[in-house]
Structure 1
Amino acid sequence: MPDLPRHNLPVEPNRFVGRERDIDELCRLLGRARVVTLCGVGGIGKTRLALQVAAKGGPRCPEGVWLIELARITRPELVIEEIARVLGVRQEGGRPLLDTLVARLRGGGPCLLLLDNCEHLVDECADVAAALVASCRQLAILATSREPLRIASELVWRVPPLDLPEGGGSDAESVRLFLERATAAGTRLGQESLPDVVRLCRALDGLPLALELAAARTSLLSPAQIADRIDDRFSLLTTGERTAPARQRTLLAAVQWSHDLLSAKEQVLLRRLSVFAGPFDLGLTERVCAVPPIAEPEIVDLLGGLIHKSLVLYDEGRGHYWLLETIRRFAAERLAEAAEREAVRERHLSVLCELQERHFAVEVAEAGLPWPHRLAALIRSRSLLDDLRAALDWAVESGNVPLGLRLCFNSTGLLPVSGNPMEIVGCLERLLSRDLTRVSEEQLAQARGCLAYGLEARDELSRSLDHAFQSLVGLRDPFQRCVMHSLLTMVLLRTGRADEALGHAEQGLALATATGDAWNQAAGLAGLSAVALTRGRLREAQRHGEQALARAREHGHRWMMARGATQLGAVAEARGDLVTAWDHYETAIAWLRELAGGVELCGTVELARSLARGGRVAAMLGEFAAARERLAASLELSRRTGQRQGVARCLVGLSVLAEAEGDLDGAVLAAAAAAALRESIGQRFATGRIEELLGRARAKLGEGRTTSLWSRGRSMCPDEAARLVLEGVRPAAPAGAAVTEPVRRSPLTAREHEVAALLTRGLSNRAIAGELVISPATVARHIANIMEKLGYTSRAQIAVWAAEHPAPSA
């Protein structure tokens, strides 16, 4: 598996000029201080400087350098969620997100977080930063803000303006920046312009943003003309708010001046662009902003004019536009002054609803589309995530609950299949707390269904069931009803209610078949296979699994195809056919990697699960290098996303690997660490496999050493236990280690011993039934019970166990 990215720093749009001494000094400070905050007025270049420092310090941070852009975050509670999103950490049911985030950061090596634009959320940023550095010793934080965080571990660095020229020299940072940006704007200034450039740099106080805005105008005005106009604007602002810092007034003057030089329609478009919270493309701009006095055909030229004047930035490779935050806030004030805020934000919400409905239909609902079309729709949907949040904030603020619910339901970027279940739950709960008089019963049912979907991903199974049952009562749309039947199948199986799960799987499949819905046919068949596997009906599970994968291929979505392949892998494992299981898991891994490659962190939890299963099977097949690679990759993904259940799954696989390599010490340590971790999250698990392992360990290592290893493993950090197996390192046993935790035993019943013994002869369920004069269904139930008790997944494993453990004599 290729190395995971170790940073998310953007490619800078143009060459960084100056501040070489600041960069070197800040890099040294970051080696000594835990929190460094770059403070200064807006537009002074805090973000650009921080990005340079972060990029230079990256090699010293093996756990990565991660940019957390907070300018677009509007509510304090979203700070911790944004950090978690960037790091790929997902919410765990019943556990504060901060705790999960701390566990993710504490387990690795040195890591640097860049918290950019903290000033409007300074209290929450301070609380989060203080909590993280207190718990994570190898974490450093670099922040940018207009005011310090004011926490104990903080070092405040006041970002100065760029160096101003002394005399008429051209070596000063401010002059170099102005000349560089003027050249980029297509203007080559000669020596005769230098005195006016020096005058302009001094007038602008060396502020980078003001210099860049001024340099963009050199294609129309000479430096002398620009300097003259800047001076006039400054004199007008001296009667403004005197409590504002002088440099703040200077920056506002520069922005106001640049705005005043726009045409009337450019001004209208600029203020309307402030409604976008993230990057936007031409099509979105046309749909939201093309309202009189601007016609849609004019948008392209008007955008070009704004780009030319450096008020809008453009990424040619991605076809995205965006506003600097200072410009966006200035434009937002102009939008409010023009009494357009409500109308434009409502249009923004409405347009996003329409776009997301189309993206959802292409990605999931429509039949007969090739996978590249579906993937493109998924990527486009998730690229609008910042705008989705802004639109949902407006839906809550304005009380437009119907549109807000529509947006939630159709935004796959918010749903657990590709997004963050914590976020969809939060969005829906905020909307449902408002006045619901304009919301139809059908929409309420849809909202409950989305809530159920998100809650299941958060392991809140009881609440998920409640909402799913309520949703199913009110839903009329066949596609949505099928989704709810599939969800209920999954949750009911997780809660041990297989008979009810079977009924919902059958109902969902029947409805999907009647409507020709391949997505839900695949889901329904996968559910039937899972029910059959739970009951020990392997042929039935195999048949339904094959049909599920066939329907998933017909649909084309890699997530559903991977689900079908993983189910077939589980069935093959249960049959003891490890080679076939390996092939199915590898197929699922390839599809999920394709999905994750198209969308950042998309499907990582599912990928981690498939990698762990594949690694475990590889270990049992003796493919130790492949097993180690897949288990290490799964562990990394699970740790990055804060999924303790995934880490426990990896530890189980590592225990299998260690024993297969002849390392019983490592096998016991990893199994003990897995058991302790599962207990800490309240997860029920079978003890049979552990008892088997410990039985072999006692026979070879002795009772005392085995129990000592078990006790040490339970108290060991999961990452340490994993490392011991992955790297083959063994710590010395602590002197006088206490032996305090005997392992529970769970022997089979007499009848179960008889069934297990007959499996050693390779008999089928029907043949075993004939030997014992019972029904084949009863045999299947006994086998399912044996698997549960021993923690096994195949008949072959039971046969090996039975050969080594003859039934006790009567």
Structure 2
Amino acid sequence: MNPVEGMTSHNLPVEPNRFVGRARDLDELCGLLRDQRLVTLCGVGGIGKTRLALRVAAKVVPDFPDGVWLVELARITGADLVAHEIANTLGVREERSRPSLDGLLVRLRGARALLLLDNCEQVVERCAELVSELLAGCPDLRILLTTREALRIPGELVWRVPPLDLPDARHPDAEAVLLFTDRALAVGTRLSGGDFDDVARLCVALDGLPLALELAAARTRMLSPAQIADRIGDRFRLLTSGDRTAPARQRTLLATVEWSHDLLTPKERVLLRRLSVFAGHFDLDLVEQVCADDGDLPSHEILDLLGGLVDKSLLLADGGRYRLLETIKQFAAERLRDEDERTWFRDRHLQVICEVQERCFESGLATPRAPWPERLPYFVRGRALIDDCRAAVDWAVESDNALLGLRLAYVASALLAVHGEIAEGVEWFERLLRLDLTGVPPEVVALSKGALAYGLEARDDLAGCERVVTEALKEQEKVPHSLGKGVTLNVAGVLLLRTGQFDRAERHFEEVVATTREWDDTFNRVIAHSCLAVLAGVRGQLRLAQRHAGEALAVAKENGHPWHVAMATSQLAAVAEWRGDTEAAVTHYREAAAIFDELDNRVEMERCLVMVAKVAIGRGDHATAEGLLAECLELAQKTGQRLGMARVLRVLSRLADVEGDLAGAVLSSGAATALAEEMGEPTVSGRIEELLARARDKLGEGRTALQWSRGRELDPVEVARLVLAGEGGGNGRLPVPAVAEVPHPVLTAREQEIAGLLTRGLSNRAIADELVISPATVARHIANIMEKLGFTSRSQIALWAVEHDLGSA
């Protein structure tokens, strides 16, 4: 007779609600229990260990004819009671002369059964001893455990229970979202489609932690998902409405985390709270530099303490790198504040991150003639610390530490720029330069302003760039040459080049070439030669352009950084295109795009691929051009680059034109021109005027004015999609404004004049320049015209003006 024959096959509770997600985990764990005798589910409190274990146990009941038995150990505080609790669950009666273990061995020997020991962490050492003896004496027994800390005995397979999958653009219905919506529905809240962006934001903020999501869903009886997400920074006070039937430690998020915290040793608690200063992943080296001290935490103890936190599931480990879940981090940060350690360790974090990033900048970017394999480790390390740079800059602003903040922003923004990420560095410098700069060395301020000017130019704020670069150049006059000073000089030249001041730009770049030779600054010499190649090309001096482009590539290879090689290669491609060597142009552009792709620089990659599309149009390969432009449209949209979007639209206009879609060509050209004006760039009018002249002949004045005006008004992405879909002519989704039958004498002479200028698609500033009035006056006149004619858009005015022969006004 089997030891438990005739008894119920399991004592598992009925699930209180629907089980959501973790399909892969379930399948793998069920399979493992057929081969592994001991499987331990580890994870932080609230991650769903118990629920997952119960689900697994229920699914494998048929595999264990002698029973599946749940033993709840959470309320057990004495180690000597563990065996007693298991025995009591199995109906084993103790004998005075024999310990509980002996009875268990008799009962389970030869039985094909599964024990589920739930919440073992507070008696983990006794559980380890007991489980070892049970497995040794009962060869057909399987044991499944849930605990925050693994048993660490032979034969144990540790399964780290991960948070639920989080939503992203490709997986909006991730496990975390499904759980939240299911639990919200259970409390009577039916979410609408408009709630899901906020639900996704909430799921990410709560790390996909099931308990936190369930507590948040319970709050939907009183608050919308948006309101909950906005308040989640105070999560421990917000998430307090748990299941009254649950153990006390699971009724609030705070109680759950405190339960895990109370199981730590005193030194583990100290380290945990200090780790809260890290924003992203961190490694042992950083922890030793930031968190160790000569008193509570000597550096030689850090490794073992980290291991303890990992074992207790309060710290996630991945290949030598660690991170805290946001919920644990917030709890630990409160403990850091309570212990009055926040200021000291945030200061220490800022200091260490700044020093590490300065080393990464110097060895990964600034050092000339270093081969890429030597640079790469510094580049990767610096890039991996960007989250901590953000936190450190925030602290520099909060603590008014302008010097360390500017030093960090300078090197970190340079590493970001290699990826084409510009905006964040601009924001850092703008915040930091508003602090009290007393005591900050003048060269630090000067170089910071130069870096800010670089960012403003790169994000097309030419007016802001001109103001800042002028200040930087003046302040850098007495500063010895450095990489940063060379950047400032190059930015000034690029600004002049982009605004059509070619002679002044040339003098700037020539000065950079001479200075960088003297100071062995290969970094900036590559850029200067590339810009001189552009300048020569604009002037039609193709041999000179070829010479400068070749020199740029040679210096780039000498420098050793692939970003420079890619930039110089793309410039060589442009020169080949100007010379009519389309095959060489495509080859060079694709080479450069591949390097930028490896560097994860989507901005420059998009620029190169747009140029390949342009060359493809010239070679008659329209299908390739269309595919590339669709790809570039997505890249430009994701990177938020107006300049990139304008490039796509200009080339798309060419494609539409050669394919006979004249209306689409005008539409996309109008959108590109509007973007250029927004950026303060001069617009090249030759091709545009020729295009508009042909359009007026073929499409008529009215339709041409309409297409041009609508291109300027519509969202640029929408324009590009319409033209790519062949709907740019207005017969598809393109809205055509209604034009009222209103006689033009209703307008004043000045209003008629402005209406006529709108037929040319001019901006308010362009009209103001032509009429020698202010843009604000133009805006008032246009508002008056709309009110008199009952119109809502400039394109309606333009079409009305054409129909009333005001186009030549």
Pair in the same fold by TM > 0.5: yes
The answer on 1:528 being equivalent to 2:532 is yes
In 1, the alpha carbon distance for the partners of 2:281 and 2:679 equals: 39
| Counterpart code for 2:269 | Q
Match of 1:262 in 2: 264
Q: Contact (CA 8 Å) 2:176, 2:203: kept in 1 or not?
A: no
| Counterpart code for 2:428 | C
| Counterpart code for 1:623 | D
TM-aligned CA deviation for residue 43 of structure 1 = 7.5
Q: Which residue, 593, 596, 599 being the options, matches 2:597?
A: 593
Q: Which residue, 656, 659, 666 being the options, matches 2:657?
A: 659
* Cα distance change of structure 1 residues 271 and 545 upon mapping to structure 2, 3 Å threshold: same
The answer on 1:114 being equivalent to 2:200 is yes
The SS at the match of 1:542 is helix
In 1, the alpha carbon distance for the partners of 2:677 and 2:16 equals: 55
TM-aligned CA deviation for residue 65 of structure 1 = 12
Q: Which region of structure 1 is more displaced relative to structure 2, 660-669 or 381-390?
A: 660-669
The SS at the match of 1:321 is strand
Match of 2:604 in 1: 606
| Counterpart code for 1:616 | K
TM-aligned CA deviation for residue 508 of structure 1 = 1.7
Match of 2:275 in 1: 273
| Counterpart code for 2:719 | A
Match of 2:638 in 1: 640
Q: Which residue, 687, 690, 697 being the options, matches 2:688?
A: 690
Structure 1: runs of 5+ lacking an equivalent? 1-16, 25-41, 68-105, 121-139, 150-156, 165-200, 208-246, 597-602, 746-810
The SS at the match of 1:470 is helix
In 2, the alpha carbon distance for the partners of 1:720 and 1:395 equals: 41
* Cα distance change of structure 1 residues 478 and 676 upon mapping to structure 2, 3 Å threshold: closer
* Cα distance change of structure 1 residues 360 and 158 upon mapping to structure 2, 3 Å threshold: closer
Q: Contact (CA 8 Å) 1:306, 1:312: kept in 2 or not?
A: yes
Q: Which region of structure 1 is more displaced relative to structure 2, 683-692 or 700-709?
A: 700-709
Q: Contact (CA 8 Å) 1:456, 1:491: kept in 2 or not?
A: yes
Match of 1:328 in 2: 329
Match of 1:718 in 2: 716
In 1, the alpha carbon distance for the partners of 2:471 and 2:616 equals: 40
Q: Which residue, 670, 677, 680 being the options, matches 1:672?
A: 670
In 2, the alpha carbon distance for the partners of 1:689 and 1:146 equals: 50
TM-aligned CA deviation for residue 278 of structure 1 = 1.8
Match of 1:341 in 2: 342
TM-aligned CA deviation for residue 718 of structure 1 = 2.8
| Counterpart code for 1:732 | N
In 2, the alpha carbon distance for the partners of 1:118 and 1:424 equals: 25
In 2, the alpha carbon distance for the partners of 1:527 and 1:645 equals: 17
Match of 2:8 in 1: none
In 2, the alpha carbon distance for the partners of 1:674 and 1:419 equals: 21
Q: Contact (CA 8 Å) 2:656, 2:662: kept in 1 or not?
A: yes
Match of 1:310 in 2: 313
TM-aligned CA deviation for residue 742 of structure 1 = 4.7
Q: 1:511-535 CA deviation, whole Å, 9 max, x = no partner?
A: 2222333222212211222232333
| Counterpart code for 2:452 | L
TM-aligned CA deviation for residue 419 of structure 1 = 6.0
Q: Contact (CA 8 Å) 2:45, 2:256: kept in 1 or not?
A: no
| Counterpart code for 2:399 | S
Q: When the two structures are superposed, what TM-score results if normalisation uses the length of structure 1? A: 0.61
In 2, the alpha carbon distance for the partners of 1:333 and 1:651 equals: 51
The answer on 1:615 being equivalent to 2:613 is yes
Q: Contact (CA 8 Å) 1:119, 1:146: kept in 2 or not?
A: no
* Cα distance change of structure 1 residues 572 and 44 upon mapping to structure 2, 3 Å threshold: same
Q: Contact (CA 8 Å) 2:674, 2:712: kept in 1 or not?
A: yes
| Counterpart code for 2:633 | L
Structure 2: runs of 5+ lacking an equivalent? 1-14, 23-43, 53-161, 178-193, 207-223, 741-754, 763-809
In 1, the alpha carbon distance for the partners of 2:647 and 2:361 equals: 32
In 2, the alpha carbon distance for the partners of 1:382 and 1:116 equals: 27
Q: Contact (CA 8 Å) 1:396, 1:431: kept in 2 or not?
A: yes
Q: 1:472-505 CA deviation, whole Å, 9 max, x = no partner?
A: 2242243332222222211221233222222221
Q: Contact (CA 8 Å) 1:582, 1:614: kept in 2 or not?
A: yes
| Counterpart code for 1:288 | V
TM-aligned CA deviation for residue 453 of structure 1 = 1.9
TM-aligned CA deviation for residue 619 of structure 1 = 1.0
In 2, the alpha carbon distance for the partners of 1:447 and 1:146 equals: 34
| Counterpart code for 2:304 | D
Match of 2:289 in 1: 287
In 2, the alpha carbon distance for the partners of 1:57 and 1:364 equals: 33
TM-aligned CA deviation for residue 308 of structure 1 = 0.7
The SS at the match of 2:247 is helix
The answer on 1:582 being equivalent to 2:586 is yes
Q: Contact (CA 8 Å) 1:313, 1:321: kept in 2 or not?
A: yes
The SS at the match of 1:473 is coil
Match of 1:567 in 2: 571
* Cα distance change of structure 1 residues 53 and 592 upon mapping to structure 2, 3 Å threshold: closer
In 1, the alpha carbon distance for the partners of 2:339 and 2:263 equals: 18
Q: Which residue, 600, 611, 625 being the options, matches 1:627?
A: 625
| Counterpart code for 2:286 | L
TM-aligned CA deviation for residue 633 of structure 1 = 1.4
Match of 2:489 in 1: 485
| Counterpart code for 2:502 | A
In 2, the alpha carbon distance for the partners of 1:380 and 1:667 equals: 46
Q: 1:252-293 CA deviation, whole Å, 9 max, x = no partner?
A: 455445434433322222222121122211221122122223
The answer on 1:516 being equivalent to 2:534 is no
The SS at the match of 1:262 is coil
Q: 1:426-459 CA deviation, whole Å, 9 max, x = no partner?
A: 3233333333332122222222222222222232
TM-aligned CA deviation for residue 350 of structure 1 = 1.6
The SS at the match of 2:471 is helix
The answer on 1:497 being equivalent to 2:501 is yes
The answer on 1:650 being equivalent to 2:653 is no
* Cα distance change of structure 1 residues 116 and 557 upon mapping to structure 2, 3 Å threshold: farther
Match of 2:247 in 1: 202
1:72-83 correspondence runs (5 A):
none
TM-aligned CA deviation for residue 355 of structure 1 = 0.6
TM-aligned CA deviation for residue 743 of structure 1 = 4.6
* Cα distance change of structure 1 residues 699 and 575 upon mapping to structure 2, 3 Å threshold: farther
Q: 1:713-740 CA deviation, whole Å, 9 max, x = no partner?
A: 4454433332233223454285977997
In 1, the alpha carbon distance for the partners of 2:610 and 2:641 equals: 13
In 1, the alpha carbon distance for the partners of 2:701 and 2:583 equals: 35
In 2, the alpha carbon distance for the partners of 1:715 and 1:332 equals: 48
Q: Contact (CA 8 Å) 2:509, 2:531: kept in 1 or not?
A: yes
In 1, the alpha carbon distance for the partners of 2:420 and 2:654 equals: 32
CA-atom RMSD in angstroms: 4.0
The SS at the match of 2:476 is helix
TM-aligned CA deviation for residue 575 of structure 1 = 2.9
In 1, the alpha carbon distance for the partners of 2:444 and 2:738 equals: 64
In 2, the alpha carbon distance for the partners of 1:111 and 1:626 equals: 36
In 1, the alpha carbon distance for the partners of 2:387 and 2:546 equals: 43
Q: Contact (CA 8 Å) 2:670, 2:761: kept in 1 or not?
A: no
Match of 1:552 in 2: 556
| Counterpart code for 2:579 | R
In 2, the alpha carbon distance for the partners of 1:142 and 1:584 equals: 49
TM-aligned CA deviation for residue 704 of structure 1 = 6.0
Match of 1:135 in 2: none
Match of 2:744 in 1: none
In 2, the alpha carbon distance for the partners of 1:485 and 1:705 equals: 46
